[in-house]
Structures are given as C-alpha cells and as structure tokens.
Amino acid sequence: MTVSESIYAPSNTPFQMTAMEWIHAYWMSRCVYVVAKLGIADLLSESPQHCDTLATVTNTKSDALYRILRALASVGIFAEIKPRYFGLTPLADNLQTNHPESVRAMAILRGEEHYYKAWGDLMYSLQTGDSAFERLYGTDLFEYNDQDSTQGEIFDRAMAESEEENTLVLEAYDFSSIDKLADIGGGKGLSLATILQAYPSMTGILFDRPDVVERAKNSWDLALRNRCEFIGGSFFEEIPTAADAYILKHIIQDWDDERSLTILQRCHQAMKPQSRLLVIDFVIPPGNEFYGSKFIDVNMLVMCPGGRIRTEEEFHTLFQAAGFRITRIIPTESEVSIIEAVREHS
C-alpha cells in the first residue's frame, strides 16, 4: 500500500491521490524540520531510544514526539523498532550532523521561521513579482543573514551540504590549465577546497563578505589555507584581479538581471584577457519534464531580490550584455551545469 493509499483511501482516482500528496506535503516537511532542529537523528546514532528518553533530552512532550516520529516512520524516516522505541533508517541517516551526505542544516534552514513565513506569502510574490521575504523583513536575505549571526551560520552550513555537487563539477571539468582560481561569493570555500585538493599545484582566492571569509578561513585545513588568499568584499564593487579563472557558483541565480549584470561586469573588469569565467548554476531546459530547478526558481522569486533560475537563452543574453561569449555549457551528473565564458571585448 502506498503512502497515498494508506492516508487518503478510499480515493476516486490515482490522480486525486497524487494531488492530495502534494497538497499535504508541507505536513511532512514540517515534521522533518522539527526533528532536524532537535537533533533526533544524532541522538539515535548509537542505538534506538525510547520516546520518553528523547523527550527528556529535547525538552519536548513524549506523546507529541511519538506521534511525529510515528508519522515519519510511515514514510521511511526513522523506524519504530518496538513500541515507542525508534531507530535510524537510511533516510534518517542523512539527518545526522556528521553524516558525509548530511542534509540536516538544509532541513533546518528551509523550516526556519523567516523562510516559512516568506513562502506563506507566496501570493504577494505572484501578484507583484517582488520578494515576499523583503516585504516581510525589510531587507534582502543576505543582509538578514549578516545581521543575525545564528541564521547566517545555518545558511552557511546548509550551502556547504552540496559537497556531492562539488565532486560532480570536478569530474565534469578539466581544471589542469588553471594556475590561480578565484571563487567569487564562495561561502565557506568547499567548492574551491575540493578543486585545490585535486590540483596540488593550483592556488586559490576565496572572495565573499568579510564575516563569511573569516569563518571560512578558520575552518580550512592549514595546508590548504596556505595555498589560498582569503579576501573580504562585495562583488557589486570590486573583485580580486589576476586569476586565471573565476567561479560564480549559484550566485547569478540570487539576483535580478540588473544586479547580475553588475556582478558579471565586475568579473569582466578583473579578468585578464585570457581568463575564463565559470558559472556553475542550474539551466532550466524547455518542456514539461520535472526538474527540481523549476521549483528552486520559485524559491528565488520568494526569497531573493529578483533572483531566478535562467534558461540557456537567458544566460546568453545576460553574458553578451556583460561583454562575455559563452564558449560551452557542460552538463554534470546533476541538474547543475558549468557555463564557460571568455571576454568578448575589453
């Protein structure tokens, strides 16, 4: 019996079952959020635990916690081993903080009040085309994270959970001809660190907001740190010069065309004539086929100042306006592509 059949039966048609799953999907995501926030998976890392024990440690009500874990167990997230004792499952494993493919920080980020309230105001973004987040909080998401260090750290950790994506980029692109690589808006620098580890003769530049760069520097291995410059600043103003290639990973998606154009122009100004620009981003394909990036695009509408996931045609138009020529778009074994570009003119 499927999840739909067990919860919503009897149902008139399979289409209705599917529709009902989507309608109630946020019930599940909210349950995942609270158990991620409480660190339930970490508490179960050694052995199954009774709900009373988990409730005592997390300062929650045992019966309420049991009902949430029972619901999640019905879809494979945790398992009730014996009455009121819960253990990990392969799906729940990924909610552990130190799991190599952890999604705990992302589960927390997407469920935090500022995210959830903004999505609750989706109708505003639909009617105006503007960010619901900015309407609610009077600033953009990035300034908000600057002002709230706790949320800024959650955001950084969530963005760092794309380590598998970094590996896929490394497999898809040959970086061997690059001596110095600049990661613009690189966050904690996991993408850059992954590439530097694979190419021992390469040096790097990690460029982001000063507070982000400082946190990143303190988290890097000493040997890698000695091969990298950590520079704080704004990519709307000035970008470090003299790199052989510049990476913009999931940066352009956060901004409208006007501000994206400014970022690209700053890269153009910083680049040497023979330098390359590598934009690592989602490229929305035509047609009705499901791509997660189509929903990420809606998230950009709600959360970011004019952000959007672009089509190949939209990327060509934007790059041309900034003085770049796209030389190739390289797919990876994920929805992310590597858009390689060179300066069209000085």
pLDDT digits (tens, 9 = 90+) for 207-259: 998 988 988 888 898 889 999 999 999 999 999 998 999 999 999 999 999 99
Tokens 């110095």 -> residue = 180
Residue 216 has what pLDDT?
87
Residue 7 has what pLDDT?
47
Averaged over 137-150, what is the pLDDT? 91
Residue 290 has what pLDDT?
93
Of 113-127, 173-187, 210-224, 272-286, the least confident: 210-224
Averaged over 188-211, what is the pLDDT? 94
**Nearest of 100, 97, 120 to residue 29 by alpha carbon:** 120
Averaged over 156-182, what is the pLDDT? 91
Q: Is the pLDDT of residue 156 over 80?
A: yes
Residue 274 has what pLDDT?
94
Distance of CA 178 to the CA centre of its chain: 26
Residue 8 has what pLDDT?
47
Q: Confidence band (pLDDT; 50, 70, 90) for 345?
A: low
Q: Is the pLDDT of residue 186 over 50?
A: yes
Residue 1 has what pLDDT?
41
90 to each of 95, 96, 101, 297, how far by Cα in Å?
Answer: 10, 11, 11, 29
The mean pLDDT value of the chain amounts to 93
Counting residues of the chain whose pLDDT is more than 90, the rounded percentage is 81
Q: Confidence band (pLDDT; 50, 70, 90) for 179?
A: very high
Distance CA(65)–CA(47), nearest Å, equals 18
**Nearest of 52, 114, 57 to residue 86 by alpha carbon:** 52
Higher pLDDT, 160 or 5: 160
How many Cβ atoms from other residues are within 10 Å of residue 61's Cβ?
Answer: 11
Query: What is the model's pTM?
Result: 0.88
Domains assigned to the chain: 3-93 (1.10.10.10), 159-343 (3.40.50.150)
Q: Is the pLDDT of residue 11 over 60?
A: no
**Nearest of 290, 341, 277, 287 to residue 311 by alpha carbon:** 287
- The H-or-E segment that residue 330 falls in is strand 324-331
Averaged over 39-63, what is the pLDDT? 98
Q: Confidence band (pLDDT; 50, 70, 90) for 146?
A: confident
**Paired strand residues for 85:** 50, 82
pLDDT digits (tens, 9 = 90+) for 63-95: 999 999 999 999 999 999 999 999 999 999 999
Residue 280 has what pLDDT?
97
Distance CA(221)–CA(204), nearest Å, equals 14
Q: Confidence band (pLDDT; 50, 70, 90) for 4?
A: very low
Residue 139 has what pLDDT?
94
Burial category of 338 from C-beta neighbours within 10 Å (exposed 0-12, middle 13-18, buried 19 and up): buried
Residue 12 has what pLDDT?
56
Residue 200 has what pLDDT?
96
Upper half-sphere CA count for residue 1 (Cβ side, 13 Å) = 10
Averaged over 262-291, what is the pLDDT? 96
Q: Could you tell me if 144 and 137 are in contact, meaning their C-beta atoms sit under 8 angstroms apart?
A: yes
Residue 106 has what pLDDT?
95
- Pairing relationship of beta strands 324-331 and 336-343 according to DSSP bridges: antiparallel
Distance CA(200)–CA(185), nearest Å, equals 22
Q: Is the pLDDT of residue 162 over 80?
A: no
